[in-house]
Amino acid sequence: MTSEIEFDRKMLEALVCPLTRATLTYDAKANELISKTANLAFPIRDGIPVMLVDEARKLE
């Protein structure tokens, strides 16, 4: 189910990759937080980032 809730970009400043502790970037088109160092994309569901490695998508 897709949500209309917008991600709070200020939250991005407090979040880091759970694997590498590196900063994340926000991909608005895919509604994901990207960890370039871990090559993972963490989904944002209902405006809440899901920071679980098991839920992350591997980047190619």
User: Tokens in use for 50?
Assistant: 């899901």
Q: Rounded to an integer, what distance in angstroms lies between the CA atom of residue 38 and that of residue 40?
A: 5
Dmax (CA) for the chain in angstroms is 30
H or E element at residue 10: helix 9-12
Q: Rounded to an integer, what distance in angstroms lies between the CA atom of residue 25 and that of residue 3?
A: 20
Q: Rounded to an integer, what distance in angstroms lies between the CA atom of residue 23 and that of residue 7?
A: 16
Q: Rounded to an integer, what distance in angstroms lies between the CA atom of residue 3 and that of residue 23?
A: 25
Q: Is residue 1 part of a domain?
A: no
Q: Is residue 35 part of a domain?
A: yes
Q: Is residue 53 part of a domain?
A: yes
- The residue range of the domain holding 34 is 9-58
Q: Is residue 32 part of a domain?
A: yes
Chain segment 3-53, per-residue pLDDT in tens: 445 667 777 788 999 999 999 999 999 999 999 999 999 999 988 899 999
Q: Is residue 14 part of a domain?
A: yes
The pLDDT, as a whole number, for residue 4 is: 47
Q: Is residue 52 part of a domain?
A: yes
The CATH number assigned to the domain holding 25 equals 2.20.25.10
The domain total for the chain is 1
